Structure 1
Amino acid sequence: MDSALTTVALPIALGIIMFGLGLSLTMDDFRRVGKQPKAVAIALGCQLVLLPAVCFALVLLFDLPPLLGIGMMILAASPGGTSANLFSHLFHGDVALNVTLTAINSIIAIFTLPLIANLAIAYFDQDNDVSLPLVKVLEVFAIVLVPVALGMLVRAKRMAFADRMEKPVRIGSAAILAILVLGILLDQRENVADYFAQVGAVAGLFCAASLVIGYVIPKALGVTEGQAIASSMEIGVHNATLAIYIAVEGLDSTEISIPAAVYSLFMFVFAALWGAAISRRIRLSSAA
């Protein structure tokens, strides 16, 4: 589970992508987010309160075995993954909001992830406990903030170059994403069928619910279209690698990591389909 694909190749690839995203950002983007805290508060409320409740309801509805139930709750408590920034970029979301949410939620997760995980462990009458390793928090910051900052620095110094690179970066990002999805499938090909049979329905429903909740609720509460798209991707694209790490390294259980592994396959496909559907609806509305 905790293979070179998830621990080495994925962070490197996403770091390169984050640099590309930084080429499209300026400090004004972040100042605008700071002046509009409503979108941040709504997204964090959905991610920290609503999603764990929805996940727990699905765990009970499908009567998952204890270890798989704990794995789902750890996934629900994990912050947004760096891939959320990529999807937001591809579908014209507010990338600055994504970066801000990832940074804030990664800090909050130091406290909320162990709390929710340990509540799940207690509910299912297991004997372990869990904490969030500081090294994983630092990894999230390194993968997201450092490459983005370098990209922004390049844009500040060479704006014309950054503008020329916007389209190639979008195309390259989509290609890297496709390669990553294919790599995950090939890496887990011997176990994919068993994993889907055990927890596929719950993981798929939770992924779809996360994406829809992350878009519909902020939109209903009056945030902009770009911010709603960013919120949807941030809430729907969890840091499955972190959840797998917690399960395998923190709790010494491969079975607890299964929900995150299965979810990671759903989220790439569902996020792409959901983003395409939103983009199509926006185009049709504009045309009308």
Structure 2
Amino acid sequence: MEDNLLIRVALPLVNFIIMCGIGLTLEVADFRRIGRSPKSVAVGVAGHYLLLPAIGFVMAYVFRDTPGFAIGFVLLAACPSASVSNTLSYLAGGNVALAVALTAISAVASLLSVPAWILLAARAFDIEGRMVQLPVSETIARLAVLVLLPVALGMGARHWARAWALRVQPWISRVALLSLILVVVAFAVTQWELVSRSISELGAATLAMSAAAMVGGLLLARAVKLSFADSVTISIEVGVQNCMLAMLVALTILHSVQAALPAATYGLMMFVPALAVVALGRRARREAPQT
């Protein structure tokens, strides 16, 4: 597989599958539900757009001497939540309705969060060059095609062909997860020289970032006395990133392989703390009747 084939075909296709998968889990009622759980949703949004960017900027500061990595960590933080987070929330015994609502918000908010955080990072770290020549209006338009169009198609399928959508949605989630892993592996193979030089450094950093995001999300939720189910959900939602979107933006808009490496590495490392949170949630659910 050549680089251009991966970037021009595989990444957009997998992103389309992932975003359609998100759309298949959403209904208009999910957006209405946001108003019925304002506290939990507000905490989740704070985790997405305050806590997560703060962690992203800390990681960017650590890698400030490598501009591509610095931008990549901030870009990763600007793309919260993915379809797999809803599945993980379900497995952990979390609040799936809350997970879906937060995923819906992040799908829309990414149109603004991605260009805003990238431009802020470029100023904060005085990064110049092609990777930060980001026309905002054009970027928002391209993100609308990458994000809103497939989500809308998925929502439309759920509305107009509900039985079919409910039947295929679990399979779409599995295909999306497998496709994400395959694309990350393919990316590593095609860019092996660069990946091999940075994987040892980025592996620990992305693991630390994902663990910090999940622990921070859990502590934030518990600090405001949300239920344990809501807390577990927010932990997963804050820590599980839309790595495919981050990679696609890095490679097709920023034209930087280096900026895609944090997302590619994070796409694998985030499952370590995520599965730990799932185990914690399942254990708490088993013990709940006895307490």
- 2:71 maps to what in 1? 70
- 2:16 maps to what in 1? 11
Cα distance 1:148–1:108, how it changes in 2: closer, same or farther (>3 A)? closer
Structure 1 segment 225-244 matched on structure 2, within 5 A: 225-244=228-247
Q: Describe the SS at the equivalent of 1:133.
A: helix
CA-to-partner distance for each residue in 1:30-78, whole Å, 9 max, x for gaps?
5444212111111111211122112222333466522211111111122
Aligned Cα RMSD in Å? 3.3
Return the offset for 1:154: 5.7
- Give the partner amino acid of 2:252: E
- 1:139 maps to what in 2? 146
Extract unaligned runs of 5+ from structure 1: none
Structure 1 segment 91-102 matched on structure 2, within 5 A: 91-102=92-103
Alpha-carbon distance in 1 for matches of 2:158, 2:125: 45
CA-to-partner distance for each residue in 1:195-221, whole Å, 9 max, x for gaps?
422322221111111122222312331
Q: Describe the SS at the equivalent of 1:2.
A: helix
Is 1:248 matched with 2:255?
no
- 2:110 maps to what in 1? 109
- 1:261 maps to what in 2? 264
Cα distance 1:4–1:270, how it changes in 2: closer, same or farther (>3 A)? farther
Cα distance 1:262–1:42, how it changes in 2: closer, same or farther (>3 A)? same
Cα distance 1:268–1:11, how it changes in 2: closer, same or farther (>3 A)? farther
1:247/1:253 contact within 8 Å kept: yes
Structure 1 segment 36-55 matched on structure 2, within 5 A: 36-55=37-56
Q: Work out the number of aligned pairs and report it.
A: 275
- 2:81 maps to what in 1? 80
Alpha-carbon distance in 1 for matches of 2:102, 2:21: 20
Q: Percent identity over the alignment?
A: 27
Cα distance 1:9–1:115, how it changes in 2: closer, same or farther (>3 A)? closer
CA-to-partner distance for each residue in 1:142-161, whole Å, 9 max, x for gaps?
44454355446666xx6xx9
Return the offset for 1:259: 0.8
Of 200, 219, 224 in structure 2, the residue corresponding to residue 197 of structure 1 is: 200
- 1:183 maps to what in 2? 182
TM-score with structure 2 setting the length: 0.77
Return the offset for 1:125: 2.3
- Give the partner amino acid of 1:9: V
Extract unaligned runs of 5+ from structure 2: 1-5
Alpha-carbon distance in 2 for matches of 1:209, 1:179: 25
- 1:215 maps to what in 2? 218
CA-to-partner distance for each residue in 1:165-210, whole Å, 9 max, x for gaps?
6xx976x578546634652454245335444223222211111111
- 1:90 maps to what in 2? 91
2:76/2:263 contact within 8 Å kept: yes
- 2:3 maps to what in 1? none
Alpha-carbon distance in 2 for matches of 1:229, 1:148: 26
CA-to-partner distance for each residue in 1:1-55, whole Å, 9 max, x for gaps?
6374432135326635763x46xx894x654442121111111112111221122
Cα distance 1:2–1:279, how it changes in 2: closer, same or farther (>3 A)? farther
1:94/1:226 contact within 8 Å kept: yes
Q: Describe the SS at the equivalent of 2:270.
A: helix
Return the offset for 1:133: 3.5
1:30/1:96 contact within 8 Å kept: no
CA-to-partner distance for each residue in 1:91-143, whole Å, 9 max, x for gaps?
33333323322332333333332222112112332223334332323432344
Of 272, 275, 288 in structure 2, the residue corresponding to residue 272 of structure 1 is: 275
Alpha-carbon distance in 2 for matches of 1:37, 1:183: 37
